[in-house]
Structure 1
Amino acid sequence: MTNYRITVGDQQISATPGDIEDLDIIRTSGSNYHLLKDNKAYQVQLLSADYLEKRLKIAVNGTTYEIEIEDEYDQQVKEMGLLAVAAQKVNFINAPMPGLILDIMVTEGQEVEAGTPLLVLSAMKMENIIVSQGEGVVKSIPVKKDEAVEKGQLVIEME
């Protein structure tokens, strides 16, 4: 079962999908929600969302909070120190785990910047967006949409 680590300021909260499903929350309009927790009512407004970075900015009864959500994959990447390695310039993008290529978001010859989404890899019932770790030009894409890949397999070559 997937466990989530939710960071609000300096506080970390663990949650399971069951915890999320058990929330008594309804949308009242647009980005406004009504939440009941322990017989207390809360007015929640979604102020901004960066789904790629899994960060939200919400207001709860008028108080603003910035939230970062990490699933098990994000936690593993952080614990393995892969984020530190990602800051280095790479010429080869390899599949971080076995999975299925759901979408390729770049083309050969395309210039990309750090943070540019390159492809979507479905693994462990999750969609993972693989992003560029630096600037460069896509030299080749040896995989195709709907192709299964193995861990470590070359998926994009950069120059």
Structure 2
Amino acid sequence: MLHISTSPEQLWEVDYRAVDTVTLNGQAFAWDIADLGEGRFHVLHEGRSYNAEVVSADYASKNIVLKINGQRIELNAKDRFDLLLERLGMSNAAAAKVNELKAPMPGLIVDIRVEPGQTVQKGDPLLVLEAMKMENILKAPADGTVGSLKVSLRDNVQKGQVLVQFS
């Protein structure tokens, strides 16, 4: 079960765990989706056609930017662990203790947007990682100062490799 939001007023409960079934706010969500490659999809829902494109995906913070029929939509997902931490008042506790940024997947560093000594805030873009022909903006997990960059432009990186060290 995920809670997906596009703003504080827009919240959806999505259950995708059942085989071949997705529910949205407790109701079955019937759709037909075709993968067009390179992060692009064609979706049919209730007789309407949608063109969808994944613009960026930050798996660490569960933020995804989509373009649906040309309209940009930013989604934030929270799983049951995020919701539990939030209920316990610890939603920022995990991010506050992070002292490095690791690659969420293998890929190629195509842009570096920070330099050592630079102060960053949670959510600031640090690097752009290209994976499977999609650009993924890797963002600061917490407020801090960039201590050192462990990669250079055009470096190939492996999943779990340290990219940025915070001081």
Distance 2:131 2:12 in 1: 30
Of the three residues 9, 14, 31, the one matched with 2:12 is 9
Matches of residues 27-46 of structure 1 in structure 2 within 5 Å?
A: 38=47
Distance 2:165 2:156 in 1: 18
Q: Deviations over 1:115-144 (max 9, x none)?
A: 111111112332211111111111111211
- Higher mean alpha-carbon deviation, 84-93 vs 14-23, is at 14-23
Is the contact between residue 56 and residue 134 of structure 2 (CA under 8 Å) also seen in structure 1?
no
1:106 equivalent to 2:114? Answer yes
SS in 1 for 2:137: strand
Of the three residues 51, 54, 57, the one matched with 2:64 is 54
**Superposition deviation, residue 79 in structure 1:** 8.8
**Greater Rg, structure 1 or structure 2?**
1
Is the contact between residue 89 and residue 133 of structure 1 (CA under 8 Å) also seen in structure 2?
no
**Percent identity, aligned pairs only?**
39
Moved over 3 A (4+): 6-10, 12-16, 18-23, 50-56, 67-70, 78-81, 83-86
Distance 1:86 1:124 in 2: 29
The corresponding residue for 2:149 is 141
1:132 equivalent to 2:153? Answer no
What one-letter code is carried by the residue in structure 1 that aligns with 2:35?
A: P
What one-letter code is carried by the residue in structure 2 that aligns with 1:21?
A: H
Provide TM-score, normalisation by structure 1: 0.54
Aligned length: 118
CA RMSD of aligned residues (A): 4.2
The corresponding residue for 1:93 is 101
Structure 2 unaligned residues grouped into runs of 5+:
6-10, 14-23, 50-54, 58-62, 86-90
Provide TM-score, normalisation by structure 2: 0.52
Change in 2 beyond 3 A, CA 1:98/1:86? farther
Q: Deviations over 1:30-78 (max 9, x none)?
A: xxxxxxx73x79xxxxxxxx9774367x9xxxxxxxx6658xxx89xx6
Change in 2 beyond 3 A, CA 1:20/1:148? closer
Distance 2:157 2:136 in 1: 13
